[in-house]
A and B are shown apart, each in its own frame.
Chain A
Amino acid sequence: MVEKQQHSDENDGMLEGLFEAAKVQDLMPSDALMARVLQDAAREQPVLAPFEAKKPGLMLLLWGTLGGWPAMAGLATATVAGVWMGIYPNDYVMDVVAQYTGAESDYYLADTFSVYNFDLEEG
């Protein structure tokens, strides 16, 4: 029994020695293999397509000329504000509108400085 255990230990030691020898074994790839692997790498490497800006169409050019989204945002805001004021006008707005439409007051064009005409004629 003791002898069997001794043989087992000895074989363990031998096996460990063989593993150590295998670890430092020179298994460097040949230059030819390295070259083939590098060729494969170059052939298989993804090629990223260069970025190409899309040529704008006529509508896109017009859109850009008008100012694009920033300009449209201002226009939309003004439109909404106009509609709002049309539906719910306040007193000031109504007064101004009344001035133009003549709803409550009449305005006449009067020549309050006609006397100067005389001065001009007199020299």
Chain B
Amino acid sequence: MSKFRSPQNDAVLSDADDEALLVLYANGDGQAARVLTQRLTPQVLGHAFRLLGDRAEAEDVAQEAMLRLWRIAPQWRPGEAKPTTWLYRVVANLCTDRFRKRRSIGLDEIAEPVDGAASVAEKIQNDARIDALQAALLTLPVRQRQAVVLRHIEELGNVEIGQIMEISAEAVESLTARGKRALRGALAARREDLGYSDG
């Protein structure tokens, strides 16, 4: 417990970049591990959830991805790739492994969101929109889904996405364009439900 708790250095470490923290971790700094965990786990979990659409599975993937980060830390070569880029790639590979183990889920099979009776109308609609997008994303081929999520939700540039997916920036552009077109098609019929009225 005490290995990860020393508030004096927190401010300094929170300003350090991911690579520096990874080197500190590899040199035995427990606080660096805590800062990296707080900084990267939400990103990793979010990406895994958007690719998988399942919270429990996404948590398993996030933990596994972070575990691989801890293990690669002693051999990390600074300047070659950002830890987040590396993590997105690991998450994608882990998700691909899971896709192989299960059949893809169609849009119609996704359960509609069930909100509590006390939820306000705005929150219900917002949740419904998020769920509808997630369901539509799950209908895309994995590579298209990954490209769209990285580009339009994680807001990464095409070059970095290309590094993550190990393809060219042009190929990323093509994947995201096709993905968006498919999403528009999948969601067009739900415009009214989601509160996007005509005109």
Whether A22 sits at the interface, judged by CB under 8 Å, is yes
- Contact partner of B183 (CB less than 8 A), chosen from A15, A27, A38, A45, is A15
A1-32 vs B, Cβ < 8 Å mask (1 yes, 0 no): 00000011011111101110111010111100
A34: chain B residues within 8 A (beta carbon): 37-38, 41
- Contact partner of A10 (CB less than 8 A), chosen from B50, B133, B198, is B198
Q: Which residues of A contact B (CB under 8 A)?
A: 7-8, 10-15, 17-19, 21-23, 25, 27-30, 33-34, 36-38, 40-42, 44-48
> Are the C-beta atoms of B30 and A15 separated by less than 8 Å?
no
Residues of B185-199 at the interface with A, using a CB-CB cut-off of 8 Å, are 187-188, 191, 194, 196, 198
Whether B157 sits at the interface, judged by CB under 8 Å, is no
Give the shortest distance, in Å, between A60 (CB) and chain B (any CB): 31
Give the A-B pair count, Cβ closer than 8 A: 107
A47: chain B residues within 8 A (beta carbon): 28
B30-50 vs A, Cβ < 8 Å mask (1 yes, 0 no): 100110111001100110011
Binds A, one of B61-69, B98-106, B138-146: B61-69
- Assuming A18-B187, A45-B30, A45-B33, is B45 touching A33 (CB within 8 A)? yes
> Are the C-beta atoms of A11 and B133 separated by less than 8 Å?
no
Q: Which residues of B contact A (CB under 8 A)?
A: 3-4, 25-28, 30, 33-34, 36-38, 41-42, 45-46, 49-50, 59, 62-63, 66-67, 70-71, 73-74, 126, 129-130, 132-134, 152-153, 155, 180, 183-184, 187-188, 191, 194, 196, 198
- Contact partner of A27 (CB less than 8 A), chosen from B49, B133, B155, is B49
B33: chain A residues within 8 A (beta carbon): 38, 41-42, 45
| Chain B: CB-nearest residue to A13 | B196
> Are the C-beta atoms of B63 and A37 separated by less than 8 Å?
yes
Please name the 8 residue pairs, one residue from A and one from B, whose CB atoms are nearest each other, closest first.
A41-B33, A44-B70, A18-B133, A27-B46, A11-B184, A14-B196, A19-B152, A21-B129
| Chain A: CB-nearest residue to B67 | A40
